[in-house]
Amino acid sequence: MGVMRIGHVNLRVMDIDAAVKHYENVLGLKTTMVDKAGNVYLKCWDEWDKFSLILTPSDRAGMEHMAYKVEKDADLDTLKEKIEAWGVKTTLLPEGSLPATGRMLQFNLPSGHEMRLYAMKEYVGTDVGTQSPDPWPDGLKGAGAHWMDHILLMCELNPPEGVNTVAENTRFMAEALDFFLTEQVVAGPDGSIQAATWMACTTTPHDIAFVGAPTSGLHHIAYFLDSWHDVLKAADVMAKTKTRIDVAPTRHGITRGETIYFFDPSGNRNETFAGLGYLAQRDRPVTTWSEDRLGSGIFFHTGDLVPSFTEVYT
């Protein structure tokens, strides 16, 4: 029983045609369906479920909800009890509330972000199949992203109730959903404030991350690439397509990932992310970064914070 991995993210976009063009031609996703409400569903070539990204037409950017996949449908009932025992209200959405998806457990994190859990989504297979497959398919567009890798959420540090929602989200994910902490940034004179956390439910350095901010929102969704070379190629694709780049290719100290950050046409931040970083395990010691080393933690090469990276999000 438990959460296996990230399943999908539902983004709001202000120009659906421009957004679809971006995710297809820059990142290399494929549209798998469009529903009656005009929502567009897309997947990466190395994903086997029907979609990992939903684009919803809107007058503002940001995230509608994120969803993580659990192993069995019965896990939803067990997790419902655990989540509600933690003090979080849940709603069970019936099968078909999202196309091609089974029933979902819906709730909000302490930071206010909407999260859903589900066990079933229509299987369509990867673009290379399972029988003696090629290492990659022909006809890839753009960066050729393999799969959606993780999400980073901005969490209000001082809401009216005075709760550190980074710490509360972290505690909730560990106690209710069995994620484990891999890295953290601590602040304050005695390092007692948990200002940012990275958490895993798989063996990668993070499947979700939380960073303190003036208000809650979405910082980025990330897509996996094989190597540093692929990150550089992704940057070339962005330059050729006049995609707005936020941070040019570099390395994180935190997670050790190789990265480039950029924006979709509505201003939602994307990342292409490469490198294992390290093998995340429950018994691996938590890596802690002090406030004075935050620059190197985020951008290891220069150690300098890019203002837009922490100040701009949706």
Considering the chain, what is the average pLDDT of its residues?
95
pLDDT of 1 above 70: no
Residue 140 placed within a domain:
no
Q: Do residue 180 and residue 260 come from a single domain?
A: yes
Percent of the chain past pLDDT 90, that is, above it, reads 87
Are residue 291 and residue 207 in the same domain, yes or no? yes
Is residue 103 within 8 Å of 73, Cβ to Cβ? yes
Q: What is the pLDDT of residue 303?
A: 80
Per residue in 241-270, pLDDT (tens digit) is 999 999 999 999 899 989 999 999 999 999
Quick check: 72 pLDDT over 90? yes
Mean pLDDT of 77-93: 97
How many CA atoms lie within 13 Å of 50's alpha carbon, on the beta-carbon side?
A: 15
Length of the chain counted residue by residue: 314
Q: Are residues 272 and 170 in the same domain?
A: yes
The reported pLDDT for the residue numbered 295 is 81
* 28 and 98 belong to one structural domain: yes
Amino acid residing at 15: D
Same domain, 190 and 79: no
Q: What is the pLDDT of residue 237?
A: 97
Q: Are residues 202 and 297 in the same domain?
A: yes
Q: pLDDT tens-digit profile of 58-69?
A: 999 999 999 999
SS3 304: coil
- Mean pLDDT, residues 138-161 taken together: 92
* Residue with the larger pLDDT of the pair 253 and 47: 47
- Which of 118, 140, 174 is a domain's end point? 118
User: Do 158 and 301 fall into the same domain?
Assistant: yes
- Per cent of the chain over pLDDT 70 is 99
Q: Is residue 71 part of a domain?
A: yes
The verdict on residue 299 lying in a domain is yes
pLDDT over 80 at 159, yes or no: no
My answer on whether 180 and 107 are in the same domain is no
Going through the chain in order, the beta strands assigned E by DSSP cover 3-13, 30-34, 40-43, 53-57, 62-70, 90-93, 104-108, 114-118, 148-156, 180-187, 193-200, 208-213, 217-225, 245-251, 258-263, 269-274, 287-290
Same domain, 155 and 237: yes
- We report the CATH number of the domain holding residue 54 as 3.10.180.10
With bands split at pLDDT 50, 70 and 90, how would you rate the model's confidence at 2?
A: confident
Point out the least confidently predicted range of 41-45, 100-104, 192-196, 235-239. Answer: 192-196
Residues noted as catalytic: 150, 206, 220, 252, 261, 271
DSSP string, 189-214: TTS-EEEEEEEESSSSS-SEEEEEES
The answer to pTM > 0.85 is yes
Residues 162 and 83 in one domain: no
Please check whether residues 219 and 292 belong to one and the same domain: yes
Q: Is residue 136 part of a domain?
A: no
Within-domain flag for 181:
yes
Two tokens, residue 80: 């419902």
Please state whether beta strands 53-57 and 3-13 pair in parallel, antiparallel, or not at all (unpaired): parallel
Do 175 and 294 sit in the same domain of this protein?
A: yes
Whole-number Å distance between alpha carbons of 233 and 66: 28
Classify residue 41: in a domain, yes or no.
Answer: yes
Structure tokens at 22: 């971006």
Q: What is the pLDDT of residue 47?
A: 98
Q: Using one digit for the tens of pLDDT, what is the confidence trace for 101-127?
A: 999 999 999 999 999 999 999 999 999
Domain that includes residue 219, residue range:
148-311
Give the mean pLDDT of 230-246.
Answer: 97
Q: Quick one: average pLDDT of 226-248?
A: 96
Residue 208 neighbours by CB distance under 10 Å: 25
Higher model confidence: residue 127 or residue 190? Answer: 127
Total domains, the chain:
2
> CA 201, CA 3: separation in Å to the nearest integer?
7
Q: Is residue 280 part of a domain?
A: yes
Q: What is the largest CA-CA distance in the chain?
A: 57
The answer to whether residue 142 sits within a structural domain is: no
The residue among 248, 224, 225 whose CA lies nearest residue 236 is 248
